Amino acid sequence: MNKALGIDIGGTKISYALVDNNGEIKSEIKKVATPRTKEEIIKVLKDAILEYENEIEFVAIATAGAVNNENTKVIGSTANLPSGYKDIDFQSLSSKKVFIENDANAAAWAEYRIGASRNCKNSVMLTLGTGVGGGIILNGKLLKGKSGAAGEMHFMMSRKQERKCTCGAYDCFEAYASGNGLKQTAIEIFEDETITTYDVIEKATKNDKKAILTLKTWQNDIALGVLGLNNIFDADCFVLSGSMEKFVDAEEIENFVNSKTVTTPTKIYHAKAGNYAGMIGAVVLANELL
């Protein structure tokens, strides 16, 4: 089985490992804190590639930020990565072919090939973390849009202008469904500016009524967004991933969406491809496209 080097570049860490074409990790997973300059990031990537270059067929990178349709260049904003990151010429880092894809798209592909949405030709993955990532697969293909940037979960949930979103607009789905959204909901319900998502989770385990209401309200906001997405995409399934997904009840969301949708019933699954779905999906997708 041919192997590739899979690399996941996030705002806090860079992880890499050998991955085979079936998406199985074949080496130790190495992790480095993401450096604060473009030059240092290039050095980390070069060192990682040098370590494995003789054993691999290609390099596949899952990165924060939108990636062009040629899978060669980061084109979108990457607020959590240093300025200049977009200018990195990834192909120049290796003598082998270098393929890059947005991390949410890559993870969605891993779920489609080996994980929760296996065989769902029409699926939407929502990564619930600090923000919300989106990966949309339509008719068995990643939805990339004209430039490669499609799948951003910024659409309006309310016109009250209550929550300024990371994109600059107000009241986007992301401003409600994300970890930050949960925190904002908690601040409103507890009327306490200092409350954290950690406090909410902790209090909910002790049956605190406000904490439970906070989680229910947050989950309901997620369900409203999923309902809208199902009305647009008529998806076979949705996959929930990311650090916050374990705090939502997929079955409750599924029941809500299916009771209200104007298309057809869908399925809501928790992600299965694991913490390294990004690098796995990048390798599997690259293997299919290169």
**Contact with Zn ion (CB under 5 A): which of 32, 44, 75, 167?**
167
Q: From the CB of 10, what's the least distance to Zn ion, in Å?
A: 20
Q: From the CB of 274, what's the least distance to Zn ion, in Å?
A: 28
Q: Number of C-alpha atoms within 13 angstroms, CB side, residue 29?
A: 16
Taking the least distance from each CB to Zn ion, the nearer of 177 and 257 is 177
Counting Cβ atoms within 10 Å, is residue 141 exposed (0-12), middle (13-18) or buried (19+)?
Answer: exposed
Taking the least distance from each CB to Zn ion, the nearer of 172 and 257 is 172
Interface with Zn ion, residue 172, by CB under 5 A? yes
Stretch that binds Zn ion, among 9-17, 43-51, 162-170, 253-261 (CB under 5 A): 162-170
Interface with Zn ion, residue 177, by CB under 5 A? no
Taking the least distance from each CB to Zn ion, the nearer of 175 and 223 is 175
Residues 6+ apart with CB under 8 A from 47: none
Q: Number of C-alpha atoms within 13 angstroms, CB side, residue 284?
A: 24
Counting Cβ atoms within 10 Å, is residue 12 exposed (0-12), middle (13-18) or buried (19+)?
Answer: exposed
**With contacts defined by CB under 5 A, how many residues of the chain interact with Zn ion?**
5
Interface with Zn ion, residue 165, by CB under 5 A? yes
Residues 137-156 that bind Zn ion (CB under 5 A): 154
Q: From the CB of 155, what's the least distance to Zn ion, in Å?
A: 8
Measured in whole angstroms, the distance separating CA 43 from the mean position of its chain's CA atoms is 25
Element (H, E) at 203: helix 197-205
Rounded Cα–Cα distance for residues 169 and 282 (Å): 31
> DSSP states of 90-105 as a string?
GGGG-SSEEEEEEHHH
Residues 217-236 that bind Zn ion (CB under 5 A): none
Rounded CA Rg of the chain? 19
Q: From the CB of 250, what's the least distance to Zn ion, in Å?
A: 24
Stretch that binds Zn ion, among 42-50, 97-105, 157-165, 247-255 (CB under 5 A): 157-165
Q: From the CB of 36, what's the least distance to Zn ion, in Å?
A: 25
Taking the least distance from each CB to Zn ion, the nearer of 153 and 248 is 153
Residues that bind Zn ion (CB under 5 A): 154, 165, 167, 169, 172
